[in-house]
Structure 1
Amino acid sequence: MWAKGDKASVLDEDINGVVVAVNGAQITIETEDGFIMNFNANELLKMHETSNLMDAIKRIDIDKISKEKTIPAPRSFVKQKKDKKEIGVPEFDLHIEKLVPNKRGMSNYDILTLQADTAKRHIEFAIKNRIPKIVFIHGVGEGVLKAELDFLLGRYDNVSFQDANYQKYGLGATEVYFKQSGK
């Protein structure tokens, strides 16, 4: 690629010169100021004799550049198919930040009572409207709200509950199923 007599420019410095020796990837150049310097081939840029812009443009390999610039096709992911039962499952977030605009001045007891009352209202609504399944998002925390929710759900007949889908909710949610009577 490099030959004795080629004009070269150093990539990261303002140094130009003429190649005086080629030893594999080691190129020796004589700078315009008369100094002899050694560089690796990847540190140099070959300069062409002509300053004609059209000649420089013709040397550009457009196909090579367009291949480098093409955006790779996105990887295809297998989408999970939802069961018809999963469509439209109501989710209720019981975090206090979602229930009141400002919790300032509320004790822990007040917060837990509000969360339990909210859960009870949603349970009653689901039973009344024959909704087969709901999800309560309670978070992980110290487990106080989850324990209160478990106690509340245990007081209802025809209600079963379990931890919600771990992939979707992590450990901080409970699925509640309502067994419908034949009324």
Structure 2
Amino acid sequence: MKFKPGDKVSVLDDSFNGTVRAYQKGKVSIETTDGFELLFDEAELVIVNNSNEMRSFFAGKSVGAVLREKETPKKRSFVKEKKSKKDTGTIMEIDLHIEKLVPNKKGMNNYDILTIQTDTAQRQLDFAIKNRIPKVVFIHGVGEGILKSELDFLLGRYDGITFGDADYQKYGLGATEVYIKQNPNR
């Protein structure tokens, strides 16, 4: 599929749209509706301004139905895992993706987003320590590693905790696991 500057596109595996700025050798530069310029492979995008092309592409589904399908998360099948002795007890999972923390991130800059994410992590960790929850998993995603670095810095300021990468099979590369050492004298 060839893209032309000015084409309206939607990112297949994410929830944002944009306008094509440039296309060269399978790479498409788009400007998002929030004003960010991002680079994608052409296979990651679909044109949304040509409804005839969209209709043939999705074989009779309306564009609205396709976009709704894209927005609603698919149900995942779960396979019961054997738990190790280390995993017994309460585990608290906190997803730090900004879409999970605020209803609308429109108008927020990267600093605002990072501040909300780190404040949430600190509040949740304080809650876990206060309520003697032994294990916390922060899901931060892979990205450029800025949130992970900030999280590592934040966690390094706490006494009585250890942290490291979370279970790769369950979370992939984008999560940090925190163990809170329980002090019986509290």
Give the structure 2 partner of residue 113 of structure 1: 115
C-alpha separation in 2, matches of 1:87 and 1:120: 21
Give the structure 1 partner of residue 182 of structure 2: 180
C-alpha separation in 1, matches of 2:179 and 2:150: 17
- Match of 1:177, SS state, is strand
C-alpha separation in 2, matches of 1:148 and 1:99: 17
- Match of 1:102, SS state, is coil
> Which of 113, 138, 151 pairs up with 1:149?
151
Partner letter of residue 139 of structure 2? I
Give the structure 2 partner of residue 80 of structure 1: 81
- Match of 1:90, SS state, is strand
List alignment gaps of at least 5 residues for structure 1: 1-77
Partner letter of residue 179 of structure 1? K
Identity of paired residues, percent? 73
List alignment gaps of at least 5 residues for structure 2: 1-78
Structure 1 residue 87: deviation in Å? 5.2
User: How well do the aligned residues superpose, as a CA RMSD in angstroms?
Assistant: 1.6
C-alpha separation in 2, matches of 1:99 and 1:164: 21
The farther-off stretch of 80-89 and 101-110 is 80-89
Structure 1 residue 88: deviation in Å? 3.8
Give the structure 1 partner of residue 101 of structure 2: 99
User: How many positions carry a matched residue from both structures?
Assistant: 106
Moved segments of 4+, more than 6 Å: none
Query: TM-score, normalized by length of structure 1?
Result: 0.55
The farther-off stretch of 133-142 and 83-92 is 83-92
C-alpha separation in 1, matches of 2:126 and 2:90: 18
- Match of 1:135, SS state, is strand
Can you list the C-alpha shifts for 1:35-84, whole angstroms capped at 9, x where unaligned? xxxxxxxxxxxxxxxxxxxxxxxxxxxxxxxxxxxxxxxxxxx9631135
C-alpha separation in 1, matches of 2:89 and 2:180: 16
Query: TM-score, normalized by length of structure 2?
Result: 0.54
- Structure 1 pair 147/82, CA: closer, same or farther in 2 (3 Å)? same
